[in-house]
Amino acid sequence: MELHLLRREPVHRLLRELRPDLAPLTYVSYEGSVRLYIAPHLGPKRLDKLTVRDVREWLTKLSGICQCCAQEKDAKRAPGSRRCCAAGECCEAYPSRRVVQAARDALRAALTHAVAEEEIGKNVAALVKVPKPRRRRIKPWSAAEASRFLADAVAREDPLFAAWVLVLCLGLRRGEVLGLTWKSVDFEAGELYVDHQIQRAGRQILHRETKTEESDDFLPLPALCLKALRVRRAQQTGDRKAAGDLWQDSHDLIFTTKYGTPIEPGNLTRMFALRARRAGLRVIPLRNTRHTCAALLVLLKVHPRVAQRILRHSQIAMTMEVYAEADDAAVREALAMLSGAMGSAG
């Protein structure tokens, strides 16, 4: 069968063949890139006729195409709500560097498979460079700010308090903390085993293994984490009784909705921002809490070698820089604030 990039069936055939080798989230990302950015522009070219120049010109053109126009986003709105492209005033919603790079990566992955299947001789997409997206640097919370956040969560009996403790004290990622099960916790040994995550992939919420074996690890649980998890267990028992027959026991997850279903990863991000504003703190991305974790490990007096393992630093010197920069006065103040809040909460 002749392969054309514009014809949806061949392109999606390539992606379907790739699917078993891809993580679900990666497949969803590639499928979106093919549908929105690749198929509409590289149509007439056969795979074996595609050149480096074709790919380069496509990427250059793509970066200057308003996606509101191309995807008819404004035209799909109700007539009274149309305000830009459909009304003749282009809003210039050009794809970002990250979107362009993702489109190139999807094409490169499909062509890599085609090369392996001996359908083409070389991967021309791999020979085209794209500008690397620049990340905006955000200042992480200090130990005092993180402590203030936790103190406010304790005072309000936040059901997600234990989740906030784990992301701030252990540097767990969003998917990792949502993927924890009660089997992951050894209260007697004071350890937590991280090996699963929750991910949203298209219309599915998946409970699956972490991305790499290096992400799996036994992590020590400080006293604050153990206490928070015990409180969470009692809260969940109450939720289960209140829900009755409506309770859905999903993989024995630690963090669930009041009906036992998994928490949407995006909802956890939004709830974190809401809690930060409620505590009177500047809002940082949830993923940025990993940087704050380093300062909190100093606050909790965790040994540098243990901190290196938690933070997964390749060199102990990196961990010691964190300890050397800690402000003793700020640490004492933050610890006193957190201890006082925990004491008043019983």
Equal fold, 8-127 vs 143-344: no
CB 192 within 8 A of CB 180: yes
Confidence at residue 149, expressed as pLDDT on a 0 to 100 scale: 93
Let me know if 247 is exposed, middle or buried by CB neighbors in 10 A (0-12, 13-18, 19+): middle
Architecture field, domain 8-127: Orthogonal Bundle (1.10)
Q: How many CA atoms lie within 13 A of 56 on its CB side?
A: 7
CATH for the 143-344 domain, from 3.50.50.60, 1.10.443.10, 3.40.50.2300, 1.10.10.10: 1.10.443.10
For each of the chain's 346 residues, which pLDDT tens digit applies? 334 454 334 554 566 666 666 777 777 788 888 888 888 888 777 777 888 999 999 999 999 999 998 888 888 888 888 889 888 889 988 988 889 999 999 888 888 888 887 878 889 989 998 888 777 777 888 878 888 999 999 999 999 999 999 998 888 889 899 999 999 999 999 888 888 877 776 777 767 766 655 445 678 788 888 999 999 999 999 999 999 999 987 788 999 999 999 999 999 999 999 999 999 999 999 988 877 777 666 766 777 777 777 776 667 777 777 666 655 555 566 666 666 666 665 5
CB 300 within 8 A of CB 222: yes
Amino acid sitting at position 42: L
- What is the torsion angle, in degrees rounded to the nearest 10, for the CA atoms of residue 250, residue 254, residue 259 and residue 261? -40
> CA distances (Å), 260 to each of 172, 182, 250, 254, in order?
21, 13, 6, 9
Ordered alpha helix ranges (H), the chain = 8-18, 24-33, 52-62, 67-70, 97-116, 143-155, 161-169, 174-178, 223-243, 265-278, 289-299, 304-311, 316-325, 328-344
Which residue type, as a one-letter code, is found at position 211? K
- Hunting for tokens 């497949």 — which residue is that? 27
Residue with tokens 């006729």: 49
Question: Look-up: residue for tokens 């799996």?
Answer: 216
Is-contact 74 86, C-beta < 8 A? yes
- Measured CA to CA in angstroms, residue 168 lies from 161, 163, 190, 286 at distances of 11, 9, 17, 10
**What's the rounded Cα separation, in Å, for the pair 232 and 163?**
9
Strand partners, 185: 192
Whole-angstrom distance, CA of residue 128 vs CA of residue 112 = 14
CA atoms within 13 A on the CB side of 85: 17
Phi, psi angle pair for 218, to nearest 5°? -90, 125
Per-position DSSP letters for 44-71, written without gaps between them = S-BGGG--HHHHHHHHHHHTTS-HHHHT
How far, in whole angstroms, is CA 186 from its chain's centroid?
Answer: 26
d(CA 200, CA 25) in angstroms, rounded, equals: 7
Sort strands 196-201 and 191-194 into parallel, antiparallel or unpaired.
Answer: unpaired
pTM: 0.69
Return the domain boundaries, the chain: 8-127, 143-344
Report pLDDT for 8.
39
Distance CA 177, CA 292 (A): 16
Under 8 Å between Cβ of 198 and 207 = yes
Residue whose C-alpha is closest to residue 166's, from 231, 237, 119? 231
Overall size of the chain counted in residues = 346
Q: Name residue 262's beta-bridge partners.
A: 256
259, 238 contact by CB (below 8 A): no
| Two structure tokens written together for 39 | 């198929």
